[in-house]
Amino acid sequence: MIFKWMRNRRRRKLAESPFPDEWLGIIHHNCRHYATLTSTERVRLLRDVRWFLDEKSIEVSLGLTLTDEMRVTVATQASLLGLGFAAPPFDRLITVILQPEIYVGTRIQREASGLELHSQEQRLGEAQRNGPVLLSWRDVVRQCRDAPDGRNVVLHEFAHLLDMADAAADGIPPLETEEQYRTWMDVTRIEYRRLVGQAEHGRHTLLDWYGATNEAEFFAVATETFFEQSVEMQKLHPRLYDVLCAFYKQDPASRWLRLAA
Ligand SMILES: [Zn+2]
């Protein structure tokens, strides 16, 4: 209670103080979504970036020296995801760790027999419910500037955090109404199965095949496409686009279309 009161007081102070010019320059240079936002959305985003940087610890692993460019770029991209919610949604997150580039992690698969299989895999990032978010800085900065392939590791890993907010990593984040759950299940199950079938047959798809791994990855990949290839998604997957619009309370396709007009 006291913690919350102190945090809110601190947040009010931060929201009232001017946003550093140098940070704004970094956002203009690295975060192309910023140009698509309305002035009201920009004010909210900058406020959330300040709060994020004040409340979360962004650290680097061996081989990197932490800079404001790293801190501000990660905070901006993560805050974009939560822009439509009443308040920034990443309360549980404490630490983000940047790796210089793609790194090797250990994948643990549990067999039905209880046996655990350990294997090594290359990763751009990872998110755990009670642990840090790990991100490859080289990919963060490249994708935040121009997402050449519609991928965005920050959006992907922070979507996993939203999914895990209700404990289960099952591709179903906490929703507001029964009706929203029903629609979510109807639409995402069909879309997920369709992607699995297309990936099995090697067909070209807008959604990355990695989304066919399981429902949790499907939600994270669909989130990337929702923000990075919004107009195409609205055209090719209108029901999925609408479900994500209702969840994120954002309509990124209309932003890109307004910018292009
Ligand atoms: Zn993932």
pLDDT of residue 261: 83
CA–CA distance, 222 with 71 (Å, rounded to integer): 25
Antiparallel, parallel or unpaired: β 125-127 and 133-136: antiparallel
Ligand 1 center to residue 27 CA distance, Å? 25
Ligand 1 center to residue 19 CA distance, Å? 32
CA–CA distance, 165 with 51 (Å, rounded to integer): 19
pLDDT of residue 140: 97
Mean pLDDT of 94-120: 89
- Residue ranges of the domains in the chain? 1-79+90-144, 170-261
Ligand 1 center to residue 28 CA distance, Å? 27
Give the mean pLDDT of the chain: 94
Antiparallel, parallel or unpaired: β 57-60 and 133-136: unpaired
Q: Who surrounds ion ligand 1 at CB < 5 A?
A: 217, 220
Where does 1-79+90-144 sit in CATH, by number? 1.10.472
Ligand 1 center to residue 158 CA distance, Å? 9
Ligand 1 center to residue 213 CA distance, Å? 9
H-helix segments, the chain: 2-16, 21-30, 39-55, 68-81, 137-146, 153-163, 178-200, 215-228, 230-236, 238-248, 252-260
pLDDT in tens, 68-82: 999 999 999 999 999
Ligand 1 center to residue 208 CA distance, Å? 12
Q: Give the architecture (CATH level 2) of 170-261.
A: 3-Layer(aba) Sandwich (3.40)
Q: Is the pLDDT of residue 120 over 80?
A: yes
Q: Is the pLDDT of residue 18 over 90?
A: yes
Supply the pTM of this predicted model.
0.94
Ligand 1 center to residue 133 CA distance, Å? 11
pLDDT of residue 141: 96
Ligand 1 center to residue 175 CA distance, Å? 20
